[in-house]
Amino acid sequence: MARRLDRRAFLRYAISGLGVAVAGGAIASLSGCDPHARDVGPDDAAEGLQRTGESPNLVLDMRARPDEVQILPGAKTKVWRYEARVLGGDAGSVQPLPSSYLGPLLRFRRGETVRITFTNELPEPTIIHWHGMHVPEHADGHPRLAIDPGESYTYTFRVMNRAGTYWYHPHPHGRTGPQVNAGLAGLIIVEGNEVSTTALPSGAYDVPLVIQDRAFSDDNQLMYAATMETRMLGFSGDTILVNGQPTYVLPVATRPYRLRLLNGSNARIYKLGWSDGRHLDVIATDGGLLERPVSRTTVTLAPGERVEVWVDFSQDPIGAAIILQNLSFAGGDTFPVVQANVVREEQAHAVLPEVLSDLGGYREIDAINREKPRSFTLEMSHMSWQLNGRTFDMHKVAPDEVVRLGDLEVWEFRNDSLRMAMPHPMHVHNVQFQVVGREVLPDFAAQNRGLAEGYVDEGWKDTVLLLPGERVKVLLKFESYEGLYLYHCHNLEHEDAGMMRNYRVQA
């Protein structure tokens, strides 16, 4: 059966004991229109390829369309889904996830050029964002580029990211939450040299797992309520799906596995742990492999975040069931997420490598603003989610949201406003950053302990969670591309309600 969860636990965490108050006050005025704004499109990238004589190494046709799929017993569920097929090239592949409404798994190779023609067969505008990917302005999926039903849009970009797990999802303003809830999401695996020298599980032992929560009506249809409650707290469903399937069971052999975990939920935060108490050996985060594995008793995974874990079933007997579960926090229930059933014996003489990759990275001392980081306050005012007192505007950029191409900066996100104390997973488009500082105000330390102990801040990140009362510093560099990009909360309902802003990269 599908897992029905206690919604009250989510509400308790969101609003109980966290100093919630909705305060009045004027909304800060927005800056004027960005004088550098211009229309962008696929021609920008196509012209660049023509100038260098290049042609794409992988050509894809992608579509978003309505469909019906079997998720729960009984009636089929109406969904929106991505489909893709390879039209040319050999620098990647398209792999459907079996029995799932999710988009296919896209495999890209680092250094290759991809061209994707996307056609919107939905009844409303949409656009695709390639989450975590470093791409030119036209290819980032900014909501101002959303296309109408029946229209097509072509993305062309070179795959510049480290090998790792990324994903794609819609990004139209005000409709990202409901479109993702309807089924529009898929995984990307970038392949590159980082994994060629490590003894990591591959093939059937390298398993992608997309975790989402959904709510269903009595006739098995997806429900999504655009209410004031969801606007404030985010949408939370009472059924857990993994790879689009309820009660997910993973048959495994007595050997190591690599599990790639994505929190693809709209707003739900997970506190993941193994049912038998074994540690989670984390080998990668958002931007690929860590330098060395890190061990956690639990892992906290916010919407948009990815982790990869090594798990070895070689000492487990045939018939054993080891459950990756969401552990209780803030008064909520413990519930299963993935059940690994040991079904066969295999000999694989593999051990967890002590060194995984050359992580590289920057030094905070080299940041141009290390003495005075660029600061962003996460808050609510007049029932509106805001960043530094501003809500989203399609084309506007404030003076403190303009950065220079090539600069290394420190950004500090501050979730210490008492106007409504809520968790906020902050995502910055077009960069991978390093978390270089995290502090919590004393009044919040005890309340946050259940989740904070599971943070994995190591490695390259594009999404970082701030619990109430926390401040986080990230180190990020603006490379390769000028243009208009986004930073926002990845609670999709917060994003849709205005907790998103443009930033501009200019030479």
* Across 131-138, average pLDDT: 98
pLDDT of 133 higher than 70: yes
How far lies 145's CA from each of 63, 333, 379, in Å? 16, 41, 27
Above 80 in pLDDT, residue 19?
no
Could you give the domains of the chain?
A: 7-12+199-344 (2.60.40.420), 21-32+360-506 (2.60.40.420), 42-195 (2.60.40.420)
- Give the pLDDT score at 17: 31
Which DSSP string corresponds to 127-157? -EEEET----GGGS--GGG-B-TT-EEEEEE
Interatomic CA distance for residues 393 and 375, integer angstroms: 19
Residue 265 sits at φ, ψ, to 5 deg, of -75, 160
pLDDT, position 370: 95
The helix or strand, by DSSP H or E, that contains position 326, with its residue range, turns out to be strand 321-326
Residue 65 corresponds to which amino acid? R
pLDDT at 188: 98
Report the DSSP beta bridge partners of residue 321.
341
* Strands, sheet with 245-246, edge to edge from the N-terminal-most edge strand: 245-246, 239-242, 206-214, 256-263, 306-312, 280-285, 288-296
Task: Average the pLDDT over 337-360 and give the result.
Answer: 93
Q: What is the pLDDT of residue 36?
A: 52
The predicted structure's pLDDT at residue 20: 29
Token pair for residue 442? 């004393």
**pLDDT at site 41:** 57
Contacts of 317 (CB under 8 A, 6+ apart): 342
Partners of 163 in the β-ladder: none
Q: What is the mean pLDDT of residues 299-321?
A: 97
The SS3 of residue 449 is helix
pLDDT tens digits along 143-167: 999 999 999 999 999 999 999 999 9
Percent of the chain with pLDDT over 70: 88
What's the rounded mean pLDDT across residues 306-314? 97
User: What is the tens place of the pLDDT at every residue in 236-285?
Assistant: 999 999 999 999 999 999 999 999 999 999 999 999 999 999 999 999 99
pLDDT at 444: 83
Q: What is the DSSP letter of 260?
A: E
Closest C-alpha among 361, 254, 358, 263 to residue 305: 263
Model's pTM, two decimal places? 0.91
Q: Are 398 and 463 in contact (CB under 8 A)?
A: no
Q: What pLDDT score does 7 carry?
A: 45
Find out whether 424 and 466 touch, Cβ atoms under 8 Å. Answer: yes
H or E, element range at 272: strand 270-274
Gyration radius of the chain over CA positions: 22
CA dist list (Å): 412 to 149, 375, 415, 439, 476: 39, 5, 10, 11, 11
Tell me the per-residue pLDDT of 454-497, one tens digit each, with 9 for 90 and over: 999 999 999 999 999 999 999 999 999 999 999 999 999 999 99
Which pLDDT value is given to residue 298?
A: 97
Query: What pLDDT sits at residue 22?
Result: 25
At residue 330 the predicted structure's pLDDT band, cuts being 50, 70 and 90, is confident
Beta strands 245-246 and 306-312 are: unpaired
DSSP 480: S
> For the chain, what is the mean pLDDT?
89
CA distance 195 to 356: 8
Q: Which residues face 289 on adjacent strands?
A: 284
Helices of type H across 238-326: none
**Confidence bin at 381 (pLDDT 50/70/90):** confident
| Segment holding 450, helix H or strand E | helix 442-452
356-378: pLDDT as tens digits: 999 999 999 999 999 999 999 99
pLDDT tens figures, 164-193: 999 999 999 999 999 999 999 999 999 987
d(CA 244, CA 228): 27
What local confidence, expressed as pLDDT, does residue 427 receive? Answer: 98
